[in-house]
A and B are shown apart, each in its own frame.
Chain A
């Protein structure tokens, strides 16, 4: 891993000039493309060396602008700064800060383009060029998504800490007369050769007057004292004592509680309503018409929900097929040139290739995000300004969306981003923000907290897209000789961006993500084509987005082919893979579980699957037993390569949790439409995994990937096919449709 340090330093040398605000000091800030937003409100004697570090005479504040929906970036961002700043996490205050373009995500366009480094096909180059042009023209966007937080901040936050540290040392040198070279830093203080400690807080006033120290080199990871070691998350005590306020817990004087009802046929009209019964109910203060529905404002959330349930509505029809069967029929009919999204991967000639044919059709259903904290937002609109308290992944857009509704200048609209009780992609959406803003706009001067009932949260989710896959594999001489994969689905990106008023012309790479970029370079004949429709229910990014359904399709078909060839599922995958990092995770997971074939005894079986998403190679093995009571999950092993492990405990937690998430939804979750409405409205019908189904999950992290990657999403894709493949090994039954419990019982 010696090369990584060099890469990081090289990135720094280029990045120090290019990264917005990363070296923005004092008057120099004005010359940067994105000024340091902290300088606007800085009090006398305080120093802010860049958008991420503020020091005054009482405290050191670190700004961790990426949204935290449970993945732990609040802590990790702070640790990246603190590592170089030489301060401990119990000595600092950490804040999400306020949205600003200085915090724009430099990695998300890379993730959104989704091109593997090794892919130089004409199609890839064409789309890459196109998306690059869009990114250049677009407003730099502050956003948390696409597992991009760590690639975004890995260098720039360490630079922020290092530049602040060196400037504080310069201030100490001026104060003490000791040359900078003789100073060191530790625990939030500059230390003189005689042992005298000058706390950073005592140096703030002088540091604020200094020109920036820009020639700082980042430490080699071998010198790290904090990163790479197990860390206590800085939110862990609050989260274990009920004292961490989420958006839904925001309280202020004189606030009101509201809820909304809009057409459960997503996007359908409201023809009329009768709220006379609701108006008379206890605690109800106002019934307000909002876009597409009605809001109830009351003095208690429960009363608001009770009253909303008492309103009689006349809802219009859904702008998509009313019943689920028609959704599948539609998808089955788009495998044609007219609907071609992209011929994303072509190697050899799958049609001419020799071998015994294996064919399969696979289905991945709509699934709800259903974070445990129902969507909510608290907004106060006054004459001069608007304040918003909610958790959101696209912070500046929230302010813009609200400004459009209230008529304020966007500079006077302030999002106070909150910790989120999960998101899984739901908090990339804006309906709940618009609804809360429409309510607050009509309740000027009064803070109003709008909370969805769980039922509203379900029926008004924009679920994971449905996907149908068709595959033809050919096996020859005990090996897989060809894979021809066709994927038909919805364009998540067009659906989602359309609701933001943005368009995405050209192919949607998410439609084949996780299949076309499988780095199986030793597969001589390989084709992936995707087909796109926009005619179905509105959908959104669901944790892992396209790779979730596509890895299920791809790895299930591959497994069928390997079994038909009589090859070993792990060995054949390793043989097909011409990518060292991916071979590494497959070998690691085999080592972890002492792999000795898929068949491990009567009624028992193991399945392996590999997934490549967001730049991370992940291999998962699931072991099951077919019991009298159904399939029992006995054990899971996961190996992944994120390039650089910053917090091993949190990484393991994400690996285990992501695997539970992937397995649970594969077993028992789907959203189906009837009469245009989602039939599943609460957790009894869309349960996910319970603790009694959860097997032991062992995890190993590798660090061979040349680039650091995020891990919020990559554990998800291989978990479902690994389970399906294990069930086949144990029972001989191949399940080609999620959720699996439609086809087989589970314990």
Chain B
């Protein structure tokens, strides 16, 4: 089976019902997307497929159509995406385990809605659980990222 992740093509030998998350993590060692719940309740596994946020724990590799972008492909420490810059400036993370998924979801939100209100943020980010409770900073960071992207 072939898939493209962060611009690189990979060949994996797995059964078609294996979720994309586990292809990424345990077959390709791309560990930015996290396992949290396995049932689309926490959003820690969120990646982009052709630019849209999906829960990679729910997408069987056999059903994958499109290129995959993970948090590692969104931006890097030396070349940050605007959402990542905002996350750093707002010092959002505590344990940080959910933040890969939060950032991928926020990037998708801002692509569709460049100037989201608090209500828009709450509606779209509601599926991403943060056990540490960083929600006030997540809201602030999404607004800050929106401003950055507007200015870009």
Contact = CB atoms under 8 A, between A and B. Distances in A.
Contacts of B122: 691-692
Interface in A652-703: 653-654, 656-661, 664, 682-684, 687-692, 694, 696-697
Interface string B3-29: 000000000001100110110011101
Contact of A372 (B72, B126, B129, B138): B129
Interface in A65-102: 69-72
B111 interface: no
A431 interface: no
A372 B103 contact: no
Contacts of B139: 691, 694
Contact of B100 (A242, A657, A659, A660): A242
Interface stretch (A5-13, A232-240, A593-601): A232-240
Interface stretch (A243-251, A328-336, A356-364, A493-501): A243-251
Interface of B, secondary structure class, is: loop
Contacts of B76: 241, 243
A305 B44 CA distance: 18
A544 B139 CA distance: 27
Contacts of A232: 88, 91
Contacts of B87: 240
B92 interface: yes
Contacts of B152: none
Given A373-B97, A654-B94, A691 B132 contact: no
A651 to B, nearest CB: 11
A409 to B, nearest CB: 33
A690 B84 contact: no
Nearest to A391: B95
A321 interface: no
A424 B131 contact: yes
A22 interface: no
Given A237-B77, A683-B42, A451 B35 contact: yes
B88 A240 contact: yes
Interface string A610-654: 000000000000000000000000000000000000000110011
Contacts of B75: 241
A282 B13 CA distance: 11
A257 B31 CA distance: 14
A365 interface: no
Interface in B27-52: 27, 29, 31-39, 41-42, 44
B132 A422 contact: yes
A147 interface: no
Interface residues of A, number: 65
A658 B32 CA distance: 25
Given A241-B71, A373-B36, A691-B122, A233 B131 contact: no
A740 to B, nearest CB: 17
A531 B75 CA distance: 55
Given A372-B42, A372-B129, A240 B92 contact: yes
Given A664-B133, A691-B125, A691-B135, A372 B97 contact: yes
Contacts of B32: 241-243
A243 B95 CA distance: 13
B53 interface: no
Given A70-B132, A238-B77, A689-B133, A653 B94 contact: yes
A335 B10 CA distance: 64
Contact of A682 (B41, B44, B84, B126): B41
A420 interface: yes
B17 to A, nearest CB: 9
Nearest to B83: A240
A303 B18 CA distance: 8
B26 A235 contact: no
B72 A657 contact: no
A406 B79 CA distance: 45
B18 A653 contact: no
Contacts of B80: 240-241
A302 B70 contact: no
Nearest to A369: B131
A267 interface: no
Contacts of A303: 18, 22
A251 B29 contact: yes
- Of B19, B38, B84, B131, most buried by chain A (CB within 10 Å of CB) is B131
Closest 6 CB pairs of A and B: A242-B32, A660-B133, A70-B95, A421-B97, A239-B96, A242-B71
Given A240-B80, A688-B131, A691-B125, 20 more contacts: A238-B77, A239-B99, A241-B77, A245-B31, A246-B34, A248-B31, A300-B26, A305-B38, A371-B131, A372-B36, A372-B44, A373-B36, A419-B96, A454-B36, A454-B37, A656-B134, A682-B38, A689-B135, A692-B123, A696-B136
28 contacts: A70-B132, A72-B94, A236-B88, A239-B93, A241-B75, A242-B33, A242-B103, A243-B76, A248-B35, A249-B31, A300-B18, A300-B27, A301-B26, A372-B42, A372-B44, A372-B95, A419-B95, A420-B95, A422-B132, A451-B35, A453-B38, A454-B36, A656-B137, A660-B135, A661-B132, A691-B135, A691-B138, A692-B122
